[in-house]
Amino acid sequence: MEERDTDPRSGRGRLIGAVAAGAGVIVVIAIMVVGLLNQDRSNSIQQAVAEGDRPPAPELELPVLTGGGEIAEGETVRLSELKGTPIVLNFWASWCTPCRSEAPILESLWQEYRGRDLLVLGVDVQDLTENAREFDEEFGLTFPSVRDGSDSTMRDFEVRGVPETFVIDREGRVAAVRVGPITDPGQLVPTIEDVL
């Protein structure tokens, strides 16, 4: 004669296991549906700006490489503390050939607009400190630069290469992104005038 399991706990255990497995399947399906719905959406700064949005600029907290204006060497620059000031934020490196042709243009923008409360701020990346300082001296740059020694700010801003420039408005939002070198000051002037 076949023996039956009459323990009520074993049936309850199978029921709990089946419910847990079913819940797991539902969670996996929900994750897949959300992923499919969002696959065409991009959270990138560049994409948001291209769509006419002004996403908040990521925080930046970096040591000053070379001072300029009211920013002195030895300080730490925090983007959140600069809220209220429009900023042209330029990612560069001393070994970058297009950065060399762009540097005088950035200096000219700094000289033209600094009296109107615009800050040009360089972010040196993937570079040696001494080489970066020599670059600033060679081009007579008077705007401040900070050093991103770990590339964390570069990653936060989703910078894929240098040079890359961001125009940030008074509210700390990205108003424009320029990938590649600035070859003419006029490429940024309309956005600068807008954020001023």
Q: What is the pLDDT of residues 105-159, one digit of tens each?
A: 999 999 999 999 999 999 999 999 999 999 999 999 999 999 999 999 999 999 9
Find where tokens 């994750």 sit.
31
Cα-only R_g, the chain: 26
pTM, rounded to two decimals: 0.78
Query: Which one is predicted more confidently, 176 or 7?
Result: 176
Number of C-beta neighbours around residue 126 at 10 A: 16
As a whole number of angstroms, the longest Cα–Cα distance in the chain is 99
The predicted structure's pLDDT at residue 186? 93
The predicted structure's pLDDT at residue 3? 53
Label residue 2 by pLDDT band (50, 70, 90): low
What string of DSSP letters covers 10-64? Answer: HHHHHHHHHHHHHHHHHHHHHHHHHHHHHTT----HHHHHHTT--PBPPP-EEEE
The predicted structure's pLDDT at residue 33? 37
Query: Which one is predicted more confidently, 178 or 2?
Result: 178
Statement: residue 24 has pLDDT above 60: no
Distance CA 111, CA 105 (A): 10
